[in-house]
Amino acid sequence: MAKVESPQVTRRTTRSYSASNDAIESTKPIEPYKPTLNDLGFRQQPLSFEDLLSCLPGRRTQVLELLRLLGPLNSPMFPILIYGGPSTGKTSVILQVFRHLNRPFVYSSCVTCYSPRILFESILNQLFHRKNSGNSYSSIKRCEKPSDFVNYLREALESVIKNLKGNSGKLSSKVSGQPNGTMIYLVFDHLERVRKWDKSSTILPFLFNLFDILKMPEVGLIFISNTSPDTYYFNMGYVEPIPLCFPDYTEDDLRQIFMANQTNRKLYSSFLDVVLRPFCRVTRRVDELSAVFSSLFKKYSQPLSDMGVAPNEDMKRRLFSHLQPHITSALNETFLSPSWPPLLKDEANGETKKKGSSRMSRIHEDFDKIDFHMSTSAKYLLISAFLASRNPATLDASLFDSTGVSDSRKRKRKPSEKSLEQKEMTELELLMKGPGTFPLERLLAIFQCITSLAEDSLDEEESHELTIEGGSSGLMSDVLLQLSSLCNANFIIKGGSCPLEGSTRYRTAVSEDLALKVARSLKFPLSKYLYRR
């Protein structure tokens, strides 16, 4: 009798399970990394003074003043507050200065550490602890209150300083690249975020008074903030840290910054001659300017066949005239990077032409299309929300009656002086108050009307293009989901509930331009439905 082997049911394993099994079999358990004093320094080659100044253009005075306030090795200091506009180089200067001085420091940013507990634990973790799988990625100590933080910090700092003092005695420390000195510096970046925390009324004075509370001369505190020191005044007093101002870059500094690391300096310098002055009238922030300059430079050097050439006067004039229309259009855009790269955009234009009648005009190609993707029902919902906010509720019946759009015949009279005045007042009111609120039922009613109209009009065209199954009931089931995703994307704002009725009211948050763009992409005649006073 043949043995009937019971069919072996192979166990289905997921990929990670089989991988981890292999890993456990093949490798030894990895030793947890023990952080040492070296981790408190910058961990890269220290810079010389000239390198420091050259990698931070336009910041010579600030670097010198910072070096003076930090002082020579092992000298105690009072807390410093570095303040200046965004993208003025405050964080980079501090980090590069510490790299140059090769002193140990602990950096924590109040953007990534968005609550007191995370901030405290992050600082304590950097002083000799590494989260790894051995301790299941937990912090060294759970620390929520400032009192616990001060106690743990004192312990950790005392052990670190003892190590530093032990090391500074040996000569070999300089050779092995360990950080110098017996002082340790705590850097708190983005301090202005702390003002928005819940416990800001105790945490901010605590941070500013930390120097007096700790009473350890080996600790230096440095605060970096985007707003000036006068925005930190509270009821609770504190001794002010020494302020250090980082003013915005001047035009010459900007030129120096943009010229760094350019391959063809003469070409780029002639480009900057053309664009720097007009764009500096709008904004002087480096991040915004660099975004627009990179795309404009590509357009500027388009007619050039050889990128390495140094332009003469004649070429400069030609390049300038080529660039001129692009400058005026770029000045009126906020300098976002496009979500589609320009090459793909051409293909997309080619594809949409397949869908039959498209009336997109070539000149306004860039500005007419919305550059993000929305489903059709979401677009209709957005338009309905816009109409619900803009039109008064009493007009719905006449606008959306079953016979389609009815042209209002009442407006043939010539407007009198008083009604003109009233019109102005109501326009002013509209400017001030903003779009109105509407309840959910009204939104759904308008949505129903619009989509039924759209289906009727599309039935006349090639109806197999659209993939909506069977009438408006197919759209309806998605609508509430779509509504909540539109609320999350801030296209519709959910307000408080009306005190009389108790239902939540919504408000539209899109501008008229965007609504028109969306309507145009659906071929929906939005302007016929908008109530003009």
Partner 1 sequence: MGREKEKENPSQKALNLLRTRLSNPNFVFKPLSDSPDSNYSKLKFIISSSITEACNNSILLLGPRGSGKVAVLELVLSDLLQQYPEAISVIRLNGLLHGDDNCALKEIARQLCMEHQLLFSKVASFDDNSQFLIAMLRECGLAHKTIIFVLDEFDLFAQAKQRLLYSLLDAMQSVTSQAVVIGVSCRLDVDQLLEKRVRSRFSHRKLLFLPPSKEDTERFLEHILSLPKDSSLPHSYTVEFNGRLKNVLADERFKELINTYLSFNSTIGQLMRFLFQAVSYMDLDVGFLSLENFKTALSSTQRQPKSECIKDCSILELYLLVCMKRLEVKEQNSYNFNSVMTEYKSIHDFQTSDNYAGNVCLRAFEHLLQRELISFTDNRGHNQSVEFRPVKLLISPAELYHGLKSYRSCPAILLKLIAR
Q: Does 239 bind partner 1 (CB under 8 A)?
A: yes
Cβ contact 157:217 at 8 Å: no
Q: Using the rule CB under 8 A, which residue among 37, 53, 55, 69 binds partner 1?
A: 69
> At a CB cut-off of 8 Å and minimum separation 6, what does 296 contact?
271, 275, 323, 326, 327, 330
Q: Using the rule CB under 8 A, which residue among 147, 358, 463, 484 binds partner 1?
A: 147
To the nearest whole angstrom, how small is the minimum distance from the Cβ of residue 92 to partner 1? Answer: 18
Binding mask 97-126 for partner 1 (x = CB under 8 A): ---x-x------------------------
Binding mask 43-62 for partner 1 (x = CB under 8 A): ---x-xx-------------
Which 241-270 residues touch partner 1, going by CB under 8 A?
242-243, 245, 247-248
- Stretch of 152-160, 398-406, 506-514, 521-529 contacting partner 1, by CB under 8 A: 506-514
Q: Does 71 bind partner 1 (CB under 8 A)?
A: yes
Q: Using the rule CB under 8 A, which residue among 163, 262, 283, 295 binds partner 1?
A: 283
The DSSP 8-state label assigned to residue 114 in this structure reads -
Alpha carbon of 531 to those of 489, 495, 507: distances in Å? 26, 23, 17
Q: Using the rule CB under 8 A, which residue among 73, 111, 309, 348 binds partner 1?
A: 73
CB nearer to partner 1: pick between 35 and 86: 86
Q: Using the rule CB under 8 A, which residue among 38, 75, 488, 503 binds partner 1?
A: 75
CB nearer to partner 1: pick between 35 and 229: 229
Distance CA 518, CA 530 (A): 14
Give CA angle at 119 (118, 123), nearest 5°.
Answer: 115
Taken as a whole, the chain contains a residue count of 533
Q: What percent of the chain is helix, strand and coil (3-state, nearest 5)?
A: 55, 10, 40
Q: Does 281 bind partner 1 (CB under 8 A)?
A: yes
CB nearer to partner 1: pick between 454 and 505: 505
Assign residue 470 a region (left: φ > 0; alpha: ψ between -120 and 50; beta: otherwise).
left
Helix 313-331 / helix 286-300 crossing angle, nearest 10 deg = 130
* Residue 431 CA, distance from chain mean position: 28
Distance CA 132, CA 114 (A): 22
CB nearer to partner 1: pick between 75 and 358: 75
> Which tokens belong to 126?
């950097």
Three-state SS letters, 338-370 = CCCCHHHHHHHHHHHHHHCCCCCCCCCHHHHCC
Distance CA 181, CA 185 (A): 11
Which 432-451 residues touch partner 1, going by CB under 8 A?
432-435
Task: With residue 105 as reference, give the H or E element that holds it.
Answer: strand 105-109
Strand-by-strand arrangement of the 219-225 sheet = 105-109, 184-189, 219-225, 80-84, 242-246
Residue written as token pair 């001659």: 273
CB nearer to partner 1: pick between 52 and 475: 52
To the nearest whole angstrom, how small is the minimum distance from the Cβ of residue 462 to partner 1? Answer: 37
To the nearest whole angstrom, how small is the minimum distance from the Cβ of residue 498 to partner 1? Answer: 13
Binding mask 81-100 for partner 1 (x = CB under 8 A): ----xx-------------x
Which 284-303 residues touch partner 1, going by CB under 8 A?
284-285, 288
- Stretch of 108-116, 174-182, 255-263, 337-345 contacting partner 1, by CB under 8 A: 174-182
To the nearest whole angstrom, how small is the minimum distance from the Cβ of residue 411 to partner 1? Answer: 24
Q: Using the rule CB under 8 A, which residue among 140, 161, 276, 280 binds partner 1?
A: 280
Q: Does 477 bind partner 1 (CB under 8 A)?
A: no
Q: Does 173 bind partner 1 (CB under 8 A)?
A: no
Strand-by-strand arrangement of the 492-497 sheet = 437-439, 504-508, 492-497
- Stretch of 33-41, 106-114, 326-334, 517-525 contacting partner 1, by CB under 8 A: 326-334
Residue written as token pair 């000195």: 181
Q: Does 333 bind partner 1 (CB under 8 A)?
A: yes
Q: Using the rule CB under 8 A, which residue among 125, 181, 182, 186 binds partner 1?
A: 181
CB nearer to partner 1: pick between 279 and 400: 279
Q: Does 276 bind partner 1 (CB under 8 A)?
A: no
Give CA angle at 518 (513, 520), nearest 5°.
Answer: 95
Alpha carbon of 530 to those of 106, 367, 383: distances in Å? 58, 21, 11
Q: Using the rule CB under 8 A, which residue among 1, 2, 343, 431 binds partner 1?
A: 431
To the nearest whole angstrom, how small is the minimum distance from the Cβ of residue 87 to partner 1? Answer: 11
Cβ contact 133:20 at 8 Å: no
Q: Using the rule CB under 8 A, which residue among 41, 116, 146, 311 binds partner 1?
A: 146
Distance CA 14, CA 386 (A): 48
Q: Does 509 bind partner 1 (CB under 8 A)?
A: yes
Cβ contact 386:515 at 8 Å: yes
Cβ contact 372:339 at 8 Å: yes
Q: Does 390 bind partner 1 (CB under 8 A)?
A: no
Q: Does 368 bind partner 1 (CB under 8 A)?
A: no
Cβ contact 465:401 at 8 Å: no
- Report the largest interatomic distance among the alpha carbons of the chain, rounded to a whole angstrom: 111
Distance CA 113, CA 122 (A): 8
Q: Using the rule CB under 8 A, which residue among 7, 29, 72, 350 binds partner 1?
A: 72
Q: Using the rule CB under 8 A, which residue among 32, 166, 177, 237 binds partner 1?
A: 237
Q: Tell me the number of residues near partner 1 by CB under 8 A.
A: 72
Which 204-233 residues touch partner 1, going by CB under 8 A?
205-206, 209, 212-213, 217, 226-231
Q: Using the rule CB under 8 A, which residue among 169, 341, 350, 496 binds partner 1?
A: 496
> Which tokens belong to 271?
């480009």
To the nearest whole angstrom, how small is the minimum distance from the Cβ of residue 295 to partner 1? Answer: 16
Distance CA 245, CA 59 (A): 11
